[in-house]
């Protein structure tokens, strides 16, 4: 397979995207149903629910369009745009975004934007009770690394995610719950790097990808 994505991986990524959209789109539908039932007198609440859920669905679609799609390869290193995308993606949950990513002088490394978006989505999975996602660009051994840390109560590698994080994971063992981890490592390897995982500290999981020079 090399660094080409297997058809089964594409199908699993589509399943994951649909799963993430079911909640907000269902809430939009619920809001519209409430709006149609004038006897309940809940028009303002219904409009608010539908509007909020529609924004959430739009944020998720925009995020994954760049994280998974061809458009992500063209986003480059516009850190302000990346931060806004991440903030919108996380807005509906109990996760705070601590964005400390700063580029040194010079052009953004190849693949930076797509890697950061996928690391944020991966780290989000490690915070079942909320917490903080810290996004950084660090000089590690003379090489710039994209680093995203999930910090909070209960932060840990989820049992269902672990198979996708394994360096020797095979496509046949993937599910919609762990395919994103596999995809993120594949992106890193396509850049001539790899995904580094550190869960040694309590209530923290750290993901890093050393970037090409």
pLDDT per residue over 17-61, tens digit each? 999 999 888 877 777 777 676 655 677 777 777 788 888 899 999
pLDDT at 1: 43
pLDDT, average across residues 104-118: 85
The CA-based dihedral angle spanning residues 79, 82, 83, 88, taken in that order and rounded to the nearest 10 degrees: 170
pLDDT, average across residues 2-24: 85
Domains of the chain: 7-210 (3.30.565.10)
CB 50 within 8 A of CB 68: no
Q: What percent of the chain has pLDDT over 70?
A: 93
State yes or no: pLDDT of 169 exceeds 90.
yes
SS3 206: strand
SS3 103: coil
pLDDT at 2: 47
State yes or no: pLDDT of 201 exceeds 50.
yes
> How far is the CA of 158 from the CAs of 83, 106, 115, 164, in angstroms?
25, 37, 21, 10
């Amino acid at each position: 397979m090399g660094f080409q994505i297997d058809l089964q991986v594409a199908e699993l990524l589509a399943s994951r995207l649909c799963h993430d959209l079911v909640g907000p789109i269902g809430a939009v539908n619920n809001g519209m149903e409430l709006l149609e039932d004038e006897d309940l007198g809940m028009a303002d609440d219904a409009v608010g629910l539908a509007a909020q859920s529609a924004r959430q669905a739009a944020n998720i679609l925009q995020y994954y369009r760049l994280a998974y799609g061809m458009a992500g390869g063209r986003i480059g290193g516009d850190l302000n745009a990346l931060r806004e995308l991440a903030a919108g993606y996380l807005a509906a949950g109990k996760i705070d975004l601590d964005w400390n990513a700063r580029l040194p002088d010079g052009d953004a490394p190849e693949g930076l934007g797509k890697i950061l978006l996928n690391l944020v989505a991966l780290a989000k999975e490690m915070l079942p009770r909320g917490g903080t996602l810290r996004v950084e660009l660090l000089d590690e051994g003379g090489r710039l690394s994209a680093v995203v840390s999930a910090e909070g109560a209960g932060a840990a590698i989820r049992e269902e995610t672990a198979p996708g994080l394994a360096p020797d994971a095979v496509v046949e063992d993937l599910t919609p719950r762990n395919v994103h981890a596999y995809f993120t490592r594949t992106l890193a390897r396509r850049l001539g790097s790899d995904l580094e995982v550190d869960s040694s500290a309590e209530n923290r999981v750290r993901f890093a990808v050393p970037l090409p020079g």
